Structures are given as structure tokens and as C-alpha cells.
A and B are shown apart, each in its own frame.
Chain A
């Protein structure tokens, strides 16, 4: 037996048996993730007061979204909250054109959509969200953006529907 044989093109076993696959079918793994005090406050503030709250490191002074307990670099606990945004600057974008399965529901994602990285005013890290502009030609790093708030807000990141370009 040649242990270096290239079997990549096989559709049947050496003896002629069909090579099978098995499908998992539908199956959801359910989770209920605790948001903890930091993300809970962040989400509740968006939901109730339409504002973005970030945390500030007592040592290096950087302001982070998502807010969090620990500044990784300083290993310092953060308890100072700072309001940032609501407007910000476009830092990066991807127009997603190739559909793929949304792991949240097992369905194909609706494409195209524009995923963005935005630096909210007063914040040192970037926030991942959406922009309603579907054409790269109209997007440019450095553009000013503002949030469009959802009417019905439930304490998720979708309490902002998307960010839109501020026209001069």
C-alpha cells in the first residue's frame, strides 16, 4: 500500500463503494449570554437614552467602545464612564456581496450590506456597525457619520439601525 497515494479525485472507495456524506440537518444551539455590568449599561443607555457610553482607562487614558472592565495594555480596572459620539468618522468598510449563512438563524444573509468600522467622536477604539450606503464608490475613509436610531429599541446593537453619511 502506498501511503503517499493522492486520493483527492476519488468519488468511490478503492473497492467501488460510493463515498457518502452525512448532513446535520437543522439544529440550533441556544444561548443566553449574560452581558455583565459593562455591556448591560452600554446597551441600556442606547436603548433608553440614545447615547453611547464608553469606559476610560485610569492609567493610559484611552477611551474604549465596547466598554469593558479591563484595559488590556495596562491591566487596570476601568470605572470612569465617558459619553462619546453620537457622530463619528468612517475608518473602514466592507460591502458584503457574497451571501453566507448567518449563524444567528441558519438562513442566508441578505446581501449586499455595508459593514463599517467607525470611530465615534471622543473614542480611541472603533465600533463595528452598518452603513446604509451600499456603493463603495460613495464611501471614503474619513467621512462623517451619524446614527439613525431604531424606533423600537430592545437593548441590542440594532437599537441603532445604521449609520448614515452626513452630507455637507
Chain B
């Protein structure tokens, strides 16, 4: 019937635009070493490993075999998963399902990226259909800019609303010693930053980082035995419904709506803002931190700006979003989704240091990527 699964350890690197001191394998080793320390385990306690990144950022084929030294995967089961921006959450889901399957008790999920090793935009452009779309594909920012323009027109959202969300996340990052970008930022600073693609400005947008994250999942008995407060997985749902960029629905975020709807049902969530104590969300731009709130059933369509303005998602608000600083502060792409899960797990375990939200019992995590795809994971302090 499958086992319940809890997260029992998390490790992450210090993230930066370029980690000159660490090769890809060394970066992975840093995260894995810290995760083992966090869980008070040794590599011998790990039964299986799953790893993920995006191939064309570093041009390493068979990353699962290349990374064996860093992963500690010698004479262990290991394979690779990859789905673009959602890779990190895909890795997390793989750790979860493998531990739930009964095939393995303790599974380590590792995401990483050395975005400094290539021209990120060039590598991203190779995700478009090479025959029909690669030449005219201008990256993710175009659709994000357009969807927010339309949202502003339809519901009276403003550029300032996005700037509020940007400043909120960037200031949260000051409390996260691992974050890549740590700068005190005001709403005015965001508004004055250079325009990338109207209405998205430089400080609204995510950076690209070098970094890695490792999260250890354990089946029910092991989790209870090894960890005083595991972060239990209550739901994992993925919707990758699109194949062609031209098919996207811009008036709402369909995969986010569908994935969260299903995940809430599995986890018994009916009033997300009340029931979640915090969230770590894959929001690639601060405009998403406004518009996409509608698509997670936090409010009726068009209700997001009000929630953002009244501080619902601030550290002292009803449901803090991204105490870590989120994706606009740290973005090692193949690890980004896994960092959401790892950060939320730490919140439940009470290990989040200066960015700890008080008494977190339930947390929401998301991943975003590919062709407007969404992954969702819900964690809880109580066993599901």
C-alpha cells in the first residue's frame, strides 16, 4: 500500500553567482555532507540516491554516474531525473516515492546547478523545439511579462504590487546565510531598477546561481527512529500539461490551479491561507508572487493584490511566503525546487534560524518550469 514518508535531513551549499572554489562534484559534496550532518547519519545509512540538474547548463551527460564521488553513490543505487525548472521538485518527488515504495528505507535526493559554467540564456533557448521555436523563443520573461500586463489590465494590479513582493523576498534573504543575493531593498529600489521586459524590472527577476541541495527522505519506521521531528510528506502532485509554448493559457496559471487543487484534496486542505503556516514557492519573478496567488486558491481571481498589499505573505503575516528569500534571491536551477522543499522541511523541524516562522505545522512547496509546468509538495509536522 505504500509507506508514509518523512524528511529527516536537509543540506545546502552557500549559493553564489559563481562558486570558484567548488567544481560541480565538490558543490554536490558540500550539500550532501551537510545533509548527512543535519540528519546525524553517515553515507552508509543511505540506501538509494537520486540526482537531477539541467543538462545543457554544464554539458555533463550521465550526471548520475559523473557525480558518484560527490553523492557518495559508490556501490549504491542511483539514477537521474530531470524536467527543466521543475527538476528540483522532481528530485524531491523521486526521493519521496522511492522511500514510499518499500524498495528503500532512506533515500537521498540531490539537486544542483553550476549556472556560472554557461550562458544561461543560450542553454535555456535550447529547450525550445529546434525546428519551429528555438530561433524565435525569447526565454521565460516574455510570457511572464505579458501575463502580468494582462493581469494588471484585468484586475487593477500594479507594478508596485510586484515590487512589494520583490522587496519582501529580498529582505527575507537577509536572514538566510546561504542565499545568493542578500541586499536590503525597498519598494522604491525595485521600481527604479532597470526595466527588463515591461513590466518586469531587474529586481523583480530571479538571478542564476551556483548551488546544490540534498534532502533525505525516510520511510515511516525509519523516520520515526532517526529523527525527533520529521517533516512528513502529505501530498506530491505534478501537472506538466503543456508541450508547445504557443498553447499556454495566459489569463490564469492552469497547471498551478490543477496541481494545487489535487494536492489540497489529497492533504485535506480546504482553506490554504489558514491551514498553511508558511510556504516556499517557486516564483521566478515577483509578478508571479502577485498573479499566481490567485491560482493557488488563496483568493478569488483578482484578489491577490489586496493580500500582497496588506502583508498576508510577510514574515509577520498570516502565511509567510519564502522566508528563505525564495527564487529571486537564489536560483541554482536544478536545486531551486528542492531548496523549496528543504527550506519548508527545516521550518517544520524548527531549524530555520533567523528565518524561522513560529510553530510551523503545515507548509506548501511548489516547483515551476518547463512549458509552464507545476509541481506541488505539502509537508506537515504530524504524520499524514
Contacts and interface: CB of A to CB of B under 8 A. Distances in A.
B337 to A, nearest CB: 22
Interface string B129-157: 11111111111011101100110000000
A136 B196 CA distance: 12
B316 interface: no
Interface stretch (A62-70, A76-84, A144-152): A62-70
Interface in A30-50: 31, 33, 35, 39, 42-43
Interface string B1-28: 0000000000000101001111000000
B134 A7 contact: no
A85 interface: no
B359 interface: no
A128 B130 contact: no
B31 to A, nearest CB: 10
Contact of A66 (B242, B244, B248): B244
Contacts of B149: 141
Give chain A's interface residue range (CB within 8 Å of chain B): 35 or more
Nearest to A116: B136
A98 B128 CA distance: 19
Interface stretch (B73-81, B118-126, B212-220, B307-315): B118-126
Contacts of B243: 68, 72
Contacts of A157: 132-133, 135-136
A133 B250 CA distance: 23
Contact of A117 (B125, B198, B246): B246
Given A8-B14, A72-B242, A66 B132 contact: yes
Contacts of A72: 241-243, 247
Given A66-B129, A115-B142, A7 B22 contact: yes
Nearest to B210: A8
A10 B142 contact: no
A101 B37 contact: no
A3 B11 CA distance: 11
B15 to A, nearest CB: 8
Which of B137, B177, B247 has the most CB atoms of chain A within a 10 A radius of its CB?
A: B247
Given A24-B59, A157-B135, A95 B246 contact: no
A116 B119 CA distance: 23
B325 to A, nearest CB: 15
B255 interface: no
Give chain B's interface residue range (CB within 8 Å of chain A): 35 or more
Interface string A134-166: 001000010000000000000011100000000
Interface in B222-276: 241-248, 250
B33 interface: yes
B143 A92 contact: yes
Which of B121, B132, B143 has the most CB atoms of chain A within a 10 A radius of its CB?
A: B132
A43 B14 CA distance: 48
Given A4-B34, A39-B132, A94-B141, A103 B126 contact: yes
Which of B14, B129, B130, B135 has the most CB atoms of chain A within a 10 A radius of its CB?
A: B135
Contact of B136 (A24, A31, A115): A115
B183 interface: no
Contacts of B20: 10-11, 19, 21
B226 to A, nearest CB: 19
A92 B122 contact: no
Contacts of B139: 94
Interface string B100-126: 000000000000000000010111011
Given A39-B132, A91-B250, 12 more contacts: A3-B34, A7-B14, A72-B247, A92-B145, A94-B138, A100-B121, A104-B135, A117-B142, A125-B246, A130-B136, A156-B131, A157-B133
Interface of A: 3-4, 6-8, 10-11, 13, 19, 21, 24, 31, 33, 35, 39, 42-43, 64-66, 68, 72-73, 91-96, 98, 100-104, 115-117, 125-130, 136, 141, 156-158
6 contacts: A64-B244, A66-B246, A68-B243, A92-B145, A100-B125, A130-B136
